[in-house]
Structure 1
Amino acid sequence: MTHLGLVTLVVRDYDEAIAFYRDAVGFDLLEDTRLDDGKRWVVVAPPGAKETALLLAEAATGEQAARVGDQTGGRVGWFLNTEAFERDYERMRAAGVVFDEEPRREPYGTVAVFRDLYGNRWDLIQHDRADGGATR
C-alpha cells in the first residue's frame, strides 16, 4: 500500500526544532543522522506514528530562511490528531506551546490552533469519528 512517508518542515536550527517538537509537542526523535556539508537528516513523529513523520530541514539559503514560520501563508498547515485532547492540550500548554484560541467544538470534533516555535500554525484535533473524519 502507498502512503505519505515524510513531510518537510523548514526550520531555523536543527537542535532548537528537535527540542521544541520532542519536549513541547511530545514527538519522538526517530532519526538524527549527520550528512555532508553540515546537513542532517532529522525525523520526528508523534509517539506510535506508523506512517507520516516530519523531516526537519534546516534552511540552507536565504530563500529557504524566508519561508521559516510561514510555509503555508498563514493557514493551518499541519493537523496533529489525538485521542485525548484535554490531556495533550494541557501538557502542551504547560510545556510552553502557544495556542491561538481556546479549544472549540466543530461538527468533526474538538480542535484548537497552536503555533510552533517559528509561528507555523497547526491544529490539535480530536475527531469524533474513529476514522479521523477524513473524506476523499
Structure 2
Amino acid sequence: MPHLAHIALVVRDYDEALAFYVGKLGFELVEDSYQPAQDKRWVIIRPPGTPVGATTILLARASTPEQVARVGDQVGGRVSFFLATDDFARDHARFTAAGVTWVRAPADQPYGRVAVFADLYGNLWDLIEYAAGHPAAGATRR
C-alpha cells in the first residue's frame, strides 16, 4: 500500500533551516545529498524518535519568485504542521529554552494540551499532547 513518504517545506536556505529544525528543535537529519543536475540538495529531517519509514520533512529551497513568495506562508497563515509529543511540559520547556517563539500560549482543549509556535520563517506549528483516548493519541512516538 502507498504511504505518505515526505512532505515538502519550502525554505529560503538549507543551512538556516537546518540550524532551526535540527539545532533548536532537535530534529534528526536523515539525509543531505547534493543533486548536481538540479543544483539543489535533497535534505530530509524528522522529529526525534520518528520510526524509520515514517513520513519525513523534505526541506525544499525556494528557487522561483513564486516559491520565494510562499516561504513562511504555505497555507495562508493557518497552522500547517502538528508536532505530537508524549510530554508536553518537557518539550514546551525545551523549545522555550531554545528560543522558539510562541504565538499561542498552552491551552487545554478537548483533544489535548496544545500551544502554537512559529518557525524561523513564520510557519505555524502546533505542539500537542493528545488527550488519553483521542484517536491520534496512539500516533505519538518517542
TM-score, with structure 2 as normaliser: 0.89
Q: Which residue of 1 aligns with 2:32?
A: 32
Q: For residue 129 of structure 1, report the CA deviation from its aligned partner.
A: 3.2
Q: Deviations over 1:23-67 (max 9, x none)?
A: 111100110000024300000001121211100000011110000
Partners of 2:107 and 2:23 lie apart in 1 by 25
User: For residue 122 of structure 1, what is the amino acid of its counterpart?
Assistant: W
- For 1:129 and 1:56, locate their aligned partners in 2 and report how far apart those are by CA, in whole Å: 32
**In the alignment, what sits opposite 1:12?**
12
Q: Would the aligned equivalents of 1:108 and 1:133 in 2 still touch at CA under 8 Å?
A: no
In structure 2, list runs of 5 or more residues that go unmatched: none
> 2:88 — aligned with what?
85
Residue 17 of structure 1 and its aligned partner are, at CA, apart by 0.2
Aligned-partner Cα distance in 2 for 1:117–1:133: 28
Where 2:33 maps in the other structure, the secondary structure is strand
Looking at structure 2, the residues matched to 61 and 129 of structure 1 have their Cα atoms a distance apart, in angstroms, of 44
Matched, 1:23 2:23: yes
Partner in structure 1 of residue 48 of structure 2: 47
Percent identity between the two aligned chains:
54
Question: What SS class does the counterpart of residue 104 from structure 2 fall into?
Answer: coil
Alignment of 1:53-132 (within 5 A): 53-129=56-132, 131-132=135-136
Question: Within 2, Cα distance between the matches of 1:25 and 1:32?
Answer: 18
Aligned amino acid, residue 23 of structure 1: G
Specify every segment of 5 or more residues in structure 1 that has no aligned partner in the other structure, as ranges.
none
Alignment RMSD (CA, Å): 1.4
Equivalences, count: 134
SS in 2 for 1:69: coil
